[in-house]
Chain A
Amino acid sequence: MPVVNRRQVLLSAAGLIAAPYVTRADAVDTVRFGVLYPNLTTVIHEIAKRTGAYERQKLNIVETRFKSGQTVEGVEQLWRGKLDFYMGGAPEVPRLNSRLIESGASPPLAVVSGANPGHTSLVLSNKLQPKAIDEILNKPLRIAVSSLSSVHLALFRGYLINEKKVAPPSIGWRFLGIQASNMVPALLTGQIDGFLHSEPTTTLAIVNNAGHLFMQAARGDMGPNPPPATLMSARRNYIKDSNETARRFMRAIFDANATYAKSPADMVSVVAEWSGQDTKIVRAAQERMNPTTSLTHAQAQKWWDFIGVSMVERGELNPKLKPFPDVFDLSLQPLAS
């Protein structure tokens, strides 16, 4: 009859206790990530995929694509618990948190990172060649925006309030909400006098000689150190409950940041494929974009001072909403970790 000695018993017990941890060490965690696609601004995700950054962090990414311009859908899905992270436009997250605060609940979402600082351009028709913005502020211009709630319009309002000390309703412009894809044809056919939008719309307008770049936030035309135009958000309860996975996800994004920053020129084909644009357009647009994704406290504060405050002033956000902690959670940023 076989005899089980004390050593074997202890080894078996230790094995049983360690087994789940050993299994978990090899396990791959799943992150449900929503991104705008095709889109220039969310390309960092594609870079992370192609360079194996997610695999190195033992993450299985379930990607959900949202059509460009449909940021609200992604934020809704994030809020309803169908996604863990979402990357796209910007103002919907504070808006949703504001509504929840108004109804007495706690804000469900948090902005955890950002990309494309100053990714807002004011393109004017070639017929308009002002030397300074003051020359045209009182003219009855028809300026297209993707919607009256557009982040680019919010940034421009912030610029008027903070830099020009002008109340936005006092200027003579009429803002028309039209789809980004219609902006260049509308400018070409003289239906609008300009538009406030990002890439590739700006480059397409320039390349097609539909208009000229009059102001560009990234080069400081709308104030120094412009805030990010693309935000990455997560559910607060996900950050709390799956903190380790969330951190690994962000580490993968930071790896992709490093890859892009090392040589943006080598990324042209990836960006072109992800955004559905011609490589020529991407090359021209690259000087006005920076898809690397990170957010410092100062950038978040700047976002709030420019965009958040103008949204509060317009009545889109409740004055009770505070940037920290109601909107931003920077605990997943490298310095925080």
Chain B
Amino acid sequence: MEAMARAPTTVAAAPDGPTRGGDELSAYGDLRRRRDRRRRIFRGAVGIGTVLILWQVMAVAYDLEQILPPPLTVARTIFYTLSLNYQQPWLYGPNIYEQLAASLTRAVSGFVIAAALAIPLGLLLGRSRAAREFIDPVIRSLYPIPGIAWIPLAILWFGLGNATVIFVVVIAEFFPLYFNTEAGARNINPTLIDAARCFGARGFTLFRRVILPASIPFIIVGMRIALGGAWRMIVAAEMLASEFGIGSVLMESRFQFRANDLMMAMILISIVGYVTERLIIGTLEKKTTERWEVKVL
């Protein structure tokens, strides 16, 4: 049954039993993967290095210290801030670890709540035309409202603080998760469903063995987009409705004309966002790939 779900997305499995030709192929594959990885890392490093060198040269040559601090200065600011050995007074309340932890907690909480709501709903509406016809117009009519537009209402409903920020993150993350899941569930090849039914799969078995595995590539893409969006929304919401968090640091550093701190906050958001994405989505992707042998888009 699982093979059926895999059909459109899996690579043909190697013939059973170890053979010499198989070993050679596998060794060649490993070598190629290593080489590809090295090439990817090298090219990535060259790309990032070029941007950093251009940035440094421009900032120094045009004396842009106040509007575009050179990367070395920003790197020093990041180092001193992370080591809590401030070179200039820290004006943003709790230290950077507490600020990042607050933002991360909000982002992850929002993500988990949004996933818990959007994925089941997307699967349901993707497979049930009647449910889709009732509920989908409501969701589509809410979709164009930007997440940030919910902030004033959220403040009225939940007050200032975590709940407001998390609510806004949930709203922003819900839509990419829902639309991707719904598209994944709706676009499953009908032949797979028919074949599964022929083998007696019904109800939860059909869902677990066919619908969920076939939708996983779409869900993972939705999660990836949603988590990136979560960080964007966290910063916007914290600027308006929270006394601390990395968004507040960003806003306050602007008020203080401290471009170094502003860029430090931006880079830390980028690093934490990237690491979170790798840890959460990467792990989910690996688990689902291993379990169902589906290839994520």
Contacts and interface: CB of A to CB of B under 8 A. Distances in A.
A95 interface: yes
A100 B66 contact: yes
B252 A147 contact: yes
Contacts of A182: 152, 155, 160, 241
B199 interface: no
Nearest to B241: A178
Contacts of A95: 255-257
A177 B257 contact: no
Interface string A94-114: 011011100100000000000
B252 A148 contact: yes
B159 A177 contact: no
B65 interface: yes
Interface in B56-106: 65-66, 88-93
A191 B159 contact: yes
Contacts of B160: 176, 178, 182, 186, 191-192
B205 to A, nearest CB: 50
Q: How many of chain A's residues touch chain B, expressed as a range?
A: 20 to 34
Contacts of B89: 314-316
A149 B255 contact: yes
B248 interface: yes
B197 interface: no
A110 to B, nearest CB: 16
Nearest to B243: A176
Contacts of B254: 72
B232 interface: no
Given A186-B159, A315-B89, A149 B243 contact: no
Nearest to A150: B255
Contacts of B258: 99
B212 interface: no
Contacts of A147: 251-252, 255
A99 B253 CA distance: 12
Interface in B90-130: 90-93
Contacts of B156: 185
B240 interface: yes
Contacts of B66: 99-100, 103
Interface in A164-203: 176-179, 182, 185-186, 189, 191-192
Nearest to A145: B243
Most buried by A among B90, B152, B243: B243
Contacts, number: 58
Most buried by A among B156, B243, B257: B257
Interface in A40-83: 72
Given A185-B155, A191-B159, A316 B65 contact: no
A191 B159 CA distance: 7
A177 B243 CA distance: 5
A179 B240 contact: yes
A290 B277 CA distance: 53
B159 A149 contact: no
Given A72-B254, A95-B256, A103-B66, A148 B91 contact: yes
Contacts of B92: 148
A177 B248 contact: yes
Contacts of A329: none
A148 B90 CA distance: 12
B257 A149 contact: no
B198 to A, nearest CB: 60
Nearest to A97: B257
B256 A316 contact: yes
A192 B241 CA distance: 13
Contacts of B93: 148
Contacts of B240: 179
A315 B89 CA distance: 5
A44 to B, nearest CB: 25
Nearest to B67: A80
Contact of B159 (A100, A148, A189, A314): A189
Interface string A191-226: 110000000000000000000000000000000000
B113 to A, nearest CB: 22
B259 to A, nearest CB: 8
A316 B241 contact: no
Contacts of A92: 255, 257
Interface in A279-337: 314-316
Interface of A: 72, 92, 95-96, 98-100, 103, 147-149, 176-179, 182, 185-186, 189, 191-192, 314-316
Interface of B: 65-66, 88-93, 152, 155-156, 159-160, 240-241, 243, 248, 251-252, 254-258
Given A72-B254, A178-B241, A191-B160, 7 more contacts: A72-B257, A92-B257, A148-B93, A149-B256, A192-B160, A315-B89, A316-B89
6 contacts: A99-B258, A100-B66, A147-B255, A149-B91, A178-B243, A315-B89
